[in-house]
Amino acid sequence: MKCLFVVLALLITTTTYSQTTFNFEDAIVTRGDLETNVYEKDSTANALIIFELGNSYVDKNNFRLKTEIKKKLKILNKNGFNKATEVIYLYTNKSNKEKVLDVNATTHNLENGEVSTVKLSKSEIFEEKYNDRYSIVKFTFPNIKEGSVVTFSYTIESPFMFKYKAWEFQSDIPKLFSVYRTSIPGNWDYHAKLVGHLKLFQTEQSHESNCLQTGSGGTANCANTVYVMKDIPAFIQEDYMTTKENYLSRIEYELKTFRGFDGRVNNYSKSWKTVNTELKTDKNIGRQLGKSSYTKTLLDDSITSESDPLKKASAIFKYVQNNYTWNTKYNIFNAVSVKNLIKNKSGNVSEINILLYNLLNEVGIDVKPILLSTRPNGLPTKLYPVISDFNYLIVQATIDGKSYLLDATDDFLSFGQIPFRCLNQFGRLFDFKSDSKWIDIEPDKITTIQHKVNLTLNDDDTFSGNIKTTTSGYQALRYKKRYFKNNPEDYFNTYKNTYSNIEFLDYQVETDDKTNPRFIESFDISYTANTINDKIYIDPFLIKFFTENPFKLQERSYPIDFGYKDAFLYTLKIDFSENYEILDKPSELKLSLPNNKGSLILTTKIDGNSIMLFFKFNFSGAIYDPSYYESLKQFMSTIVDVQNNSLIVLKKKL
């Protein structure tokens, strides 16, 4: 621990901490910890980690990985009471499991000017099975009140050296000071990866000779490292992001090599060339790819005789969509059987898309498998091969020099479209005749949504007209699923209930193929505007794209990930008689995001007895760096303001 104390001393003597009332130096509870009930740097915080320390090392006696954890937690108000329960996940397999040792917790309160303490009872510690891989130990701190400070500690003992303890510096509450100390014997060589955008405040490294010894005289030296991070903001999830695991600041470890005292060497880290070879012979992937014995009689002559390769590929894609159902399981490396899929008409992701691969390959289409990680699963590392990072398989078909990404698990997808869950930046394409490579996973077409509204002012000051909505890409996918999965009357009633200010009289859907990349619908409507004296106040945006700004954080530290490029268009035309005149209309507006990453335009035009409004905005990027957040926030605020606060005012002529 000498190295750690050096780091702490250096920190304390070289920095001035803005919130001096909290003791962030150690786990000792001070009156300042108890008396201070607001965290100045984040007034919205309900709880706060004042100090935490992790210490991981290999036990000299039993050669097990031990991680000692000590924390000091402040409950700022009653909304932070949910942080009064600690949950510890313990990995287990058929032969062994992790354990929790020496659990201690004390709640400190300030009552009538005096400090009172209550200790956690051993009977209040519970363990239960979580799933096949994990059990959990959990306990709730006693006597929690607003202003309580809890100190707690425990040790995790693990027999699994391949899972060196990761350390999460960031969580959903802020932390003042976090220290992680590691001691790794030279027998084990790990990839260490710092995830997230936050920078380490300090790192100290040292070397310890003969830290580990065996009874036979074998010894190992240890690499000791101390990682320090301070003033860690809470991670707050917001719309338009992938899983938080992509962005939470933490240190992770992946075992590369183990060297035994007896001279044996086990290599766990592989090259992509090695992975390529292994997947080629894997019974769940490589041996299923290219199997034609089960597929030769599946396709009709009308498909196999098609001379146009693109039409043929599209027909095969639709055949798999229509005849085989995804059972919602991924299982891309587990019990994959194309034969069972054909028999049962239902299967997992790998089975369905490998069948698609085999059928395309059989008719001479250039096709390759792609492994990827879905948006909820997180980004795979590019630093080295970690095959367990992947949880999904899709197909790339190349026809006349153009590549199409295909996934037949969803019968609403159009040819060349993959599910939104797969839009996770990149995947690994495998060519078993050569090697594999990273490829970008990004739609090649912009997704669009357009509302076209035509209104006519009647003699009774009501409006009649029509709304036509045209969507494409992922917007169309959303609309198609809502329409085709519901009774048409129920679908129509949804509009009636959502837009109570509009009377929907009739509707028509022009799209009859649920795989069509576009969805078109139209409604006959009646609309009554607000009339005061001789003036008619019209809300020009009968249907709105956004009713509120989804971006509400003061600062966002992770990317804004829409998944695809998007364009929105709204047009309105109002016809009125010569007995009326335009008294007021929305002001024209133009706005752009930095570096042409998006634009907004609002125009109005009066032509005789008609007024026309044109409103368009777009996002020309699928993913935006956090540096764009403030601009996007203002951009979206303008969009919402235009839709919610625009008016057209007509006045009867005298």
Mean pLDDT, the chain cut into blocks of 10 residues (654 residues total)? 46 43 92 93 94 96 95 97 96 92 97 94 95 94 96 97 95 97 96 93 95 85 97 95 94 94 87 91 89 84 94 97 96 90 95 96 95 96 91 97 97 97 97 91 94 95 96 96 92 91 94 96 95 93 96 93 97 94 95 97 96 98 96 98 96 86
Residues 172, 125 share a domain: yes
- Element (DSSP H or E) covering residue 538: strand 535-538
Tell me, yes or no, whether 176 and 82 share the same domain: yes
Q: What pairing do the DSSP bridges indicate for beta strands 580-584 and 648-652?
A: antiparallel
Distances (CA, A) of 512 to 90, 242, 504, 519: 52, 33, 21, 9
Q: Which helix (H) or strand (E) holds 302?
A: helix 301-304
What is the structure's pLDDT at 4? Answer: 46
Q: Where would I find the beta strands (DSSP E) of 373-461?
A: 392-399, 402-406, 425-430, 436-441, 447-457
Residue 20, pLDDT score: 53
Q: Please tell me what DSSP assigns to residue 97.
A: B
Helix H or strand E encompassing 643: helix 629-645
- How far is the C-alpha of 484 from the C-alpha of 411, rounded, in Å? 11
**Residue 214 confidence (pLDDT):** 83
| Residue 530 shares a structural domain with residue 506 | yes
User: Which one of 441, 459, 488 terminates a domain?
Assistant: 441
Q: Which domain does 635 fall in, by range?
A: 447-652
Cα–Cα distance, 548 to 639 (Å, whole number):
9
What are the structure tokens assigned to 565, written together?
């490029």
Q: To the nearest 10°, report the CA torsion of 627, 629, 630, 635.
A: 130
Most distant CA pair in the chain, distance: 109
Together in a domain, 397 and 466: no
94, with CB counted inside 10 A (0-12, 13-18, 19+), is exposed
Q: Is 252 within the bounds of a domain?
A: no
CATH number (domain holding residue 305): 3.10.620.30
**Residue 378: inside a domain:** yes
Assess whether 236 and 306 both reside in one domain: no
Supply the CATH number for residue 614's domain. 2.60.120.1130
Q: Where are the beta strands (DSSP E) in 284-417?
A: 325-326, 346-347, 366-372, 392-399, 402-406
Neighbours of 60 (CB within 10 A): 11
Q: Is residue 247 part of a domain?
A: no
163 and 48 fall within a common domain: yes
Question: Quick one: tokens of 518?
Answer: 């576009």
Q: Is residue 621 part of a domain?
A: yes
Residue 370 shares a structural domain with residue 393: yes
Domain end residue (candidates: 197, 222, 240): 240
The pTM of this model reads: 0.88
CA-nearest of 11, 38, 39, 14 to 25 is 11
| CA distances in angstroms from 122 to 117, 119, 148, listed in the order given | 16, 9, 20
Using CA atoms of 395, 400, 402, 407 in order, give the dihedral in degrees to the nearest 10: -20
HSE (CB half, 13 Å, CA atoms) of 432? 16
Expressed in angstroms, the distance from the first to the final Cα of the chain is 90
Buried b (16+ CB within 10 A) or exposed e, 234-249: bbbeeebbbbbebbbb
User: In Å, how far are 89, 294, 509, 521 from 468, measured between CA atoms?
Assistant: 52, 47, 10, 6
What is the Cα–Cα distance from 224 to 183, expressed in whole angstroms? 4
- Which residue carries 């075992």 as its tokens? 255
What pLDDT does 248 receive?
95
Contact predicate 15/7, CB 8 Å: no
Neighbour-count burial for 532-555, b at 16+ CB within 10 Å, e otherwise: eeeebebbbbbebbeeebebeeee
Could you tell me whether strands 566-575 and 447-457 are parallel, antiparallel, or unpaired per DSSP bridges? parallel
Listed in sequence order, the residues at least 6 apart from 368 whose beta carbon sits closer than 8 Å to its beta carbon are: 395, 396, 398, 429, 430, 431
Q: Residue 482 falls within a domain, yes or no?
A: yes
Q: Does residue 245 lie in a domain region?
A: no
- Give the Cα separation of 478 and 486 in Å (integer): 13
| C-alpha of 235 from chain center | 13
Domain boundary (441, 476, 495) is at 441
Does 460 lie in the same domain as 431? no
**Is there a domain that residue 254 lies in?**
no
Q: Is 464 found in the same domain as 351?
A: no
Count up the domains in the chain and report the number. Answer: 3
Identify the residue whose tokens are 């519901």: 486
In-domain check, residue 255: no
Domain match, 429 and 462 both: no
CATH number of the domain residue 98 falls in:
2.60.40.3140
Cβ(368)–Cβ(276) below 8 Å: no
The answer on 148 and 86 residing in a single domain is: yes
| Amino acid letter, residue 40 | E
| Buried b or exposed e, range 354-373, using 16+ CB within 10 angstroms | bbbbbbbbbbebebbbbbbb
Q: What is the predicted pLDDT for the residue at 317?
A: 98
Q: Do residues 159 and 303 both lie within one domain?
A: no
Q: DSSP 3-state assignment of 536?
A: strand
